[in-house]
Structure 1
Amino acid sequence: MRGTFLIKAAGLALAVLLFDRLFPDWFDGIGVGLFAGGWVAVVVATRRDIRHRRIALVAALAAAVFAGALVDDPGPLAWALFWVALSLVALLPKAAAFDDAWRWGVRLFLHPLLGLAQPFADLARLRRRHGAHVDSWRIAATLGLPLIGGAAFLLMFAAANPLIEQALGAVRLPPLWRIPLWIAVTLLVWPSLRPSPRIMALTAGLPDPEPRLPGTSLPSVLIALALFNLIFVFQNGLDIAFLWSGGALPDGISQAEYVHRGAYPLIGTAMIAGIMALAMFRPGSASEHHPWARRLVILWVAQNSVLVASSALRRIDYIEASMLTAWRIAALAWMALVTLGLVLIAWRIVAGKSARWLVNCNALAAATVLSVCAFVDLGATAAAWNVRDADPRRIDLCYLRDVGDGALLPLIHLEGRLLDPVTRYKVRYVRWLAFKELKERQDDSSRWTPRGARRLAEATALGAATRAKPASLRRPRTCDGSIDRSLPTLNY
């Protein structure tokens, strides 16, 4: 037991040293992924229980894959998925088996909360076991004379001997501001080496994720489903008449207003309806096997799917009328997940599947979508879509400016198109700024990333480094590259 503790302490020291060497200034660049990969290696190497559990090794492989995403281009989503995978690596050996995503979600929530106190709990436990009879004051008194005396003699010898003075002058102590960073890394890494044993105990008695509606009976379920279907038929009929077929709306309501207002409320409605369907058909309820109740709920779930499809169409129409953004891509992916969740709810009711099956299927679908998004630059994807075949005068250059270097290649292609002088002037400025920022970041070794290197090489091959700079750089500009004439000229 003592040997394994010392091995984990050595692994912790190695992780802190790796962090200290990779990030002399800030937490950025390829070092984020290298630290993540080193962290995974330390956890697997120092914990025998992980190496003897196949499912834990699979989670370690997933953590290594997300560490690879962080190597290519560090981002918050890739880091969050890496942390989830690594937390599963730490906790899976403590569980008999993987039960369901609901319980593991609670465990992942408790892991950082209880993990912050785990280093202090382990130190207290170590002191109780091995240091109960150790007097801290006596240790300080014992070491005081040799340490203070030795330091005094070294200082006197340095004053008398230039060789000793040079040797002492070559010693560089770390700045004091890095000590809190080491403590933070310790608090971050140690729970993955020794997770809190209370996590499994606190989640052992969690109930199954079965939603409940108090006071429901078979008559109330049948009446409710009939009423809900009628209401949803009315809403879906309006969408089919005015959204899908493009019919003329009544006076006072514009197409843009009709499209924009219903996108997110309808998704929320569908999600609430799905939860209610689960609650009305929970195992053991009177409506679970009633034929008419089952027909009505399947019809209601189908209508909810049409509702989500209408919401997605609203979002697509809004994108075509304005522009695509990374968040709108995420919204469409979320709508697809909601639709899949409704289909799974219907299959769960028809096939009599368990709540554990439903939660695990939805969690797997969400994890798959998020994992794909972690490797794709959604901002660059949106920028390329907006630039392709669009009217350059309608492109939101402020958004492309916010995307950063992900919009560099689309901006280069946009600048090469036939543009009026004013639009070309603005595009040139936004493109030049994106190239300049990317070049500065890639020239900094602590912020360098492989994705940035590929993007810079492609931009250079397209002539971005030799293209003309925008005129009047001394004049302050707005986010879209227009000169802000309300501000004075910059003096530099």
Structure 2
Amino acid sequence: MRFSFLCKIAIVIALVVLFDRLFPDSFSGARIGGFAGVWLMGLVLGRGDVRRNKRACIALAVAALFTGSLFDDPGPLAWALFWCALSVAVLLPKVSGFDDAWHWGARLMIHAVGGIGKPFADLRRFGRSRQRKRANAGSVMAMLGLPLVGGALFVTLFAAANPLIAQTLAAIRLPSVWQILLWTFVAVCVWPSLRPQAAVMRLAGRLPDPEPVLPGTSLPSVLIALALFNAIFAVQNGLDIAFLWNGGALPAGMTQTEYVHRGAYPLIGTALIAGVMALAMLRPGSASAHHPWARRLVTLWVVQNLVLVASSILRTIDYVEASMLTAWRIAALAWMALVALGLVLICWRILRGRSARWLINWNAFVAAVVLTVCSFVDLGALAASWNVRQQAPAAIDLCYIGQVGDGALLPLIALEHRRMDAVTRDRVRYARDLIFTDLSARQDSWTEWTPRGARRLARATAMLGPNPARPLAVEQPAWRNCDGSIEHPAPPAQP
């Protein structure tokens, strides 16, 4: 036991030292994936129960998958998924198995919050265990007192007499307060993965089953509510079918753009609330759960909610076609698709009598798959490519393209080869040159280098050729805006 504890301390110290060497200036580049991989190996070395647990090994393999994403092109989503997979591997040996995503979500939250105090609690416990040996510690200090004091005295005298020794001692730099705080933070983050908090399992086990409960869900109340809700939703869906799907004539004073762009997210919120209410009204064991008309009405209501989600997706697509595609709008469309699938699963659960755990596990699994795909795919690059292919060169928002970063480099080079006027081409070249220069500088530094960036730079260099065209030079006091347009100062006012 003592050897295992000391081994874990050694692993934490090694990871802190590695973090200090890998990230002297910023937390970026492929080195993030390297640190995640070493952390994963440290967990395998320090936790024998994790190595012997088959389910934990599966979680370790998933964590290793996200390590690859962090190495290729690190991002917050990949790091969050890596930590979740790592933490699941840490906690799995402490439970009998994977029960449901509801309790595991609670375990991960408690593990993240409760793990902050775990290193300090272990230090305090270690200090108490050493109280019995204070007499031995005192004798050791008495034994080492003369050598330490005498050695310090002679080193000081020799430093005064020998400039080489004095220079060597002067070159020693103690760590700053910021470094000590950073090392402490890394140790606090790593230590709970080697010694998880025991309260995680106890507190998560006290959570009730995830069955939503609403007051007043008697059978008559449920039947009246479902009939009323279906009528209200039918009005909304009928309006969408008439004006959104079929392009009918709107009342005077309202434009199609106003109608389309107004309600995508409120409608998704409405569908989510409706799904929770449907689960509460037909929860297992209730009188309404087995009533045929209640089941028919709730099925009709879920179908109407699916039409509502489809209308939200169409609104978002129309909004994209009217303006442009962004990474957040891709994420919004993926979220809407998840909501639609969740509604289908709710309907299946009610009709087939599945448990709430079944429903939550399936929703969590599908969401995890979508997030995993997003951690490997550059959504900004996808949005930039779509905008370049679908929009006229003069209509493309180059300010947004510049915010995408190096993911927009290849689409900009492709855009540069299209037909356009000279002013627009110069603006495109300016945006492309900024991104290309920035990417080249980052790839030349080992702290910022990533495999994906290297692939993009190599392909961009091949597409541009040996002598790429440069944007027009702009002399002061003129300047360029974020879209590459040239701005001149206003002429002085005439007296």
TM-score interval (norm. to shorter)? over 0.9
Residues 72, 449 of structure 1: 8 Å contact kept: yes
Q: TM-score, normalised by structure 1?
A: 0.95
Corresponding position of 2:97: 97
Q: Which amino acid aligns with 1:155?
A: T
The farther-off stretch of 151-160 and 85-94 is: 151-160
Do the aligned partners of residues 138 and 385 (structure 1) sit closer, same or farther apart at CA in structure 2, a change above 3 Å counting? farther
How far did 1:134 drift?
2.1
Do the aligned partners of residues 453 and 208 (structure 1) sit closer, same or farther apart at CA in structure 2, a change above 3 Å counting? same
Do the aligned partners of residues 372 and 132 (structure 1) sit closer, same or farther apart at CA in structure 2, a change above 3 Å counting? same
Residues 476, 487 of structure 1: 8 Å contact kept: no
Q: Which amino acid aligns with 2:480?
A: R
Three-state SS of the structure 2 residue aligned to 1:447 is coil
Corresponding position of 2:112: 112
- Correspondence 1:480 to 2:483: yes
How far did 1:70 drift?
0.4
Gap regions ≥5 residues in structure 2? none
The farther-off stretch of 427-436 and 341-350 is: 427-436
How far did 1:144 drift?
5.4
Percent pairwise identity: 64
- How far apart, CA to CA, are the structure 2 residues paired with 1:173 and 1:369? 47
- How far apart, CA to CA, are the structure 2 residues paired with 1:186 and 1:296? 55
The farther-off stretch of 78-87 and 460-469 is: 460-469
Do the aligned partners of residues 167 and 487 (structure 1) sit closer, same or farther apart at CA in structure 2, a change above 3 Å counting? farther
Corresponding position of 2:25: 25
Three-state SS of the structure 2 residue aligned to 1:388 is helix
- How far apart, CA to CA, are the structure 2 residues paired with 1:57 and 1:307? 42
Residues 476, 483 of structure 1: 8 Å contact kept: yes
CA deviations 1:294-330 (Å, max 9, x no partner) are: 0110011011001101110110111111100000000
How far did 1:102 drift?
0.8
Runs of 4+ in 1 over 6 A off after TM superposition: 135-142
Corresponding position of 1:384: 385
Corresponding position of 2:188: 187
Equivalent residues in 2 for 1:45-64, closer than 5 Å: 45-64=45-64
Do the aligned partners of residues 430 and 137 (structure 1) sit closer, same or farther apart at CA in structure 2, a change above 3 Å counting? farther
- How far apart, CA to CA, are the structure 1 residues paired with 2:447 and 2:365? 35
The farther-off stretch of 57-66 and 159-168 is: 159-168
Q: Which amino acid aligns with 2:411?
A: P
How far did 1:209 drift?
0.5
How far did 1:164 drift?
4.7
Q: Which amino acid aligns with 1:44?
A: V
Residues 412, 464 of structure 1: 8 Å contact kept: no
CA deviations 1:2-36 (Å, max 9, x no partner) are: 12111111111121122122112211111101001
Three-state SS of the structure 1 residue aligned to 2:241 is helix
How far did 1:248 drift?
1.9
The farther-off stretch of 105-114 and 161-170 is: 161-170
How far did 1:130 drift?
2.8
- Correspondence 1:369 to 2:370: yes
- How far apart, CA to CA, are the structure 2 residues paired with 1:144 and 1:112? 43
How many residue pairs match? The answer is 488
Residues 425, 470 of structure 1: 8 Å contact kept: yes
CA deviations 1:452-479 (Å, max 9, x no partner) are: 1011111111127732322234443221
- How far apart, CA to CA, are the structure 1 residues paired with 2:340 and 2:373? 18
Do the aligned partners of residues 417 and 140 (structure 1) sit closer, same or farther apart at CA in structure 2, a change above 3 Å counting? farther
Three-state SS of the structure 2 residue aligned to 1:479 is coil
The farther-off stretch of 91-100 and 277-286 is: 91-100
Three-state SS of the structure 1 residue aligned to 2:104 is helix
How far did 1:442 drift?
0.9
Q: TM-score, normalised by structure 2?
A: 0.94
CA deviations 1:108-150 (Å, max 9, x no partner) are: 1111211110001001111122334427888777655543432
CA deviations 1:136-169 (Å, max 9, x no partner) are: 8887776555434323322332444466557657
Q: Which amino acid aligns with 1:452?
A: G
Equivalent residues in 2 for 1:7-406, closer than 5 Å: 7-134=7-134, 145-161=146-162, 164=165, 174=175, 177-406=178-407
How far did 1:171 drift?
5.7
Q: Which amino acid aligns with 1:177?
A: W
How far did 1:410 drift?
0.7
- How far apart, CA to CA, are the structure 2 residues paired with 1:170 and 1:262? 65
Three-state SS of the structure 1 residue aligned to 2:449 is coil
Do the aligned partners of residues 141 and 429 (structure 1) sit closer, same or farther apart at CA in structure 2, a change above 3 Å counting? farther
Three-state SS of the structure 2 residue aligned to 1:195 is coil
- How far apart, CA to CA, are the structure 2 residues paired with 1:167 and 1:53? 51
The farther-off stretch of 340-349 and 196-205 is: 196-205
Residues 60, 86 of structure 1: 8 Å contact kept: yes
- How far apart, CA to CA, are the structure 1 residues paired with 2:265 and 2:75? 26
- How far apart, CA to CA, are the structure 1 residues paired with 2:68 and 2:400? 28
Three-state SS of the structure 1 residue aligned to 2:479 is coil
How far did 1:482 drift?
1.4
Residues 242, 248 of structure 1: 8 Å contact kept: yes
CA deviations 1:78-98 (Å, max 9, x no partner) are: 011111111111111111111
How far did 1:177 drift?
3.5
The farther-off stretch of 450-459 and 422-431 is: 422-431
Q: Which amino acid aligns with 2:108?
A: L
